Amino acid sequence: MTRLPISALIGLAFTTAYFAAALFAPLIAPYGLAEVVGDSWEPASSQFWLGTDSIGRDLLSRMIWGGRTTIFVATCATILAFGLGSVLGFLAAVCGGWVDQVLSRLVDLMMSIPALISALVVLSVMEVTLTTLILVMGILESTRVFRLARAVAVDIAVMDYVEAARLRGEKLGWIIFREILPNALSPLVAEMGLRFIFAVLFISTLSFLGLGVQPPMADWGGIVKENKEGIVYGIPAALIPAFAIATLAISVNLVADWVLNRTSSLKGGRGA
Residue 220 has pLDDT above 90, yes or no: yes
Residue 2 has pLDDT above 70, yes or no: no
Position 137 in a domain: yes
The domain that contains 167 carries what CATH number?
1.10.3720.10
Indicate the pLDDT class of residue 270, thresholds 50, 70 and 90: very low
Instruction: Express each pLDDT in 146-197 by its tens digit.
Output: 999 999 988 888 888 888 888 888 788 888 888 888 888 878 887 888 889 9
Q: Hey, is 58 helix, strand or coil?
A: strand
- Domain total for the chain? 1
Mean pLDDT of the chain: 87
* In contact, 159 and 99? CB cutoff 8 Å: no
Position 28 in a domain: no
Position 239 in a domain: yes
The stretch 51-59 carries a mean pLDDT of 89
Single pTM value for the model = 0.88
Distance CA 178, CA 99 (A): 21
Position 2 in a domain: no
Distance CA 27, CA 187 (A): 37
Position 47 in a domain: no
pLDDT for 1: 52
Domain that holds residue 234: 7-19+53-271
Distance CA 241, CA 261 (A): 30
Position 44 in a domain: no
The stretch 6-30 carries a mean pLDDT of 92
Position 149 in a domain: yes
By C-alpha distance, which of 119, 109, 179, 98 is closest to 147?
109
SS (H, E, C) 200-220: HHHHHHHHHCCCCCCCCCCCH
pLDDT for 215: 82
Q: Which carries the bigger pLDDT value, residue 264 or residue 25?
A: 25
Instruction: Express each pLDDT in 103-141 by its tens digit.
Output: 999 999 999 989 999 999 999 898 889 999 999 999 999
Position 48 in a domain: no
Q: Give the angle subtended at the CA of 157 by the CAs of 152 and 162, to the nearest 5°.
A: 135
